[in-house]
């Protein structure tokens, strides 16, 4: 299936990033967000990202202008027309995502594809809310999208081979490398990453070391660019906790139980970098 027009729902950091790489690939993009201010900020973030690429010599001015001309913004997905693929990139809330997919089912043309950027919610359950479960797939981008090369593709129980092939081709057109995961809690990346971050929280709670020492040990001892506690702050401690809860509930194993210190920080509103305080102050 040829893909030329996509709608991205959610104009936050992830949605804007997805829209940007799609525009760089020559796709026409409709960016949707019910929040007008958030939508404007998302569009500005995209334009700033394209401008920075031009300044670095990674994109020529003509392609920048073409990309900006291919961007449209709407406060309702229903205003987007002739959509080939929809990519939902809103917050990790299953009820919200299912409501959005009900709407997108009516927006995307017959034969078109509905993708979700969820990092943990089962694709099969999201697909069940639509009339076309065979056309629903997980397309999990990494943050920040314009920089990170990986996209996890997650096939639900009903996802067709054609849907998978089309989305893989589109991701590669965006310059991404894809991996395929079964539709199990956390998929590949978060199934491995979140328990590591959670264990770092336990290490801190138990006084194994200070936050700085734990992060330095992991950076220098395992050659990671960022320590686990700092990374958790950058992801958002509320998001880390949510995914940990999904893993614990979905896999039923006590080894995935969220650290009480992580839960306490979230209860305090210390979400990490975005709130100004997490394991570190910003």
Q: Which of 30, 120, 190, 198 is catalytic?
A: 190
Rg over CA atoms, the chain: 19
Residue the block writes with tokens 């998302």:
42
Q: Is 140 a catalytic residue?
A: yes
Ligand-binding site membership of 10 (annotated): yes
143 is in an annotated binding site: yes
Structure tokens at 92: 């990790």
281 is in an annotated binding site: no
Active-site option among 152, 181, 198, 248: 152
Question: Is 120 annotated as belonging to a binding site?
Answer: no
Catalytic residue among 88, 140, 181, 248: 140
DSSP string covering 30-50, please? EEE-S-HHHHHHHHHHHHHHH
Q: Which of 5, 30, 117, 119 is catalytic?
A: 119
152 catalytic? Reply is: yes
Does 236 show up as a binding residue in the annotation?
A: no
**CA separation (Å) from 207 to 11, 32, 77, 84?**
40, 45, 49, 52
119 is catalytic: yes
Residue 57 annotated as lining a ligand binding site: no
33 appears as a binding residue in the annotation: yes
Query: Is 198 among the annotated ligand-binding positions?
Result: no
Classify residue 238 as exposed, middle or buried by CB count within 10 Å of its CB (0-12, 13-18, 19+).
buried
How buried is residue 169: exposed, middle or buried, by Cβ count under 10 Å (0-12/13-18/19+)?
Answer: middle
The residues annotated with a catalytic role in the active site are: 119, 140, 152, 190
- Output the known binding site: 10-15, 33, 92, 97, 119, 143, 274
- Output the known binding site for NAD(+): 10-15, 33, 92, 97, 119, 143, 274
């Amino acid at each position: 299936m040829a893909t030329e027009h996509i709608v991205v729902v959610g104009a936050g950091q992830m949605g804007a990033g997805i829209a940007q790489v799609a525009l760089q690939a020559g796709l026409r993009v409709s960016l949707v967000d019910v929040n007008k201010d958030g939508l404007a900020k998302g569009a500005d973030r995209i334009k700033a990202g394209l401008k920075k690429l031009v300044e670095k010599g990674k994109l020529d001015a003509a392609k920048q202008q073409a990309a900006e001309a291919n961007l449209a913004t709407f406060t309702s997905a229903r205003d987007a027309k002739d959509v080939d693929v929809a990519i939902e990139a809103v917050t990790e809330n299953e009820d919200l995502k299912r409501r959005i997919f009900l709407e997108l089912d009516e927006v995307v043309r017959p034969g078109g594809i509905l993708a979700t950027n969820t990092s943990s919610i089962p694709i099969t359950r999201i697909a069940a809310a639509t009339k076309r479960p065979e056309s629903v797939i997980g397309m999990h981008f990494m943050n920040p999208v314009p920089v990170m090369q990986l996209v996890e593709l997650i096939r639900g129980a009903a996802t067709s081979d054609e849907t998978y092939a089309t989305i893989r081709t589109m991701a590669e057109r965006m310059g991404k490398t894809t991996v395929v995961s079964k539709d199990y809690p956390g998929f590949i990346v978060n199934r491995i990453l979140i328990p590591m971050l959670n264990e770092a929280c336990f290490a801190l709670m138990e006084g194994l070391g200070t936050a700085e020492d734990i992060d330095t040990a992991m950076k220098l001892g395992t050659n990671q660019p960022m320590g686990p506690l700092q990374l958790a702050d950058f992801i958002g401690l509320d998001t880390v906790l949510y995914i940990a809860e999904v893993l614990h509930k979905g896999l039923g194993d006590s080894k995935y139980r969220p650290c009480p210190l992580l839960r306490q920080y979230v209860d305090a509103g210390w979400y990490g970098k975005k709130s100004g305080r997490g394991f570190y102050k910003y």
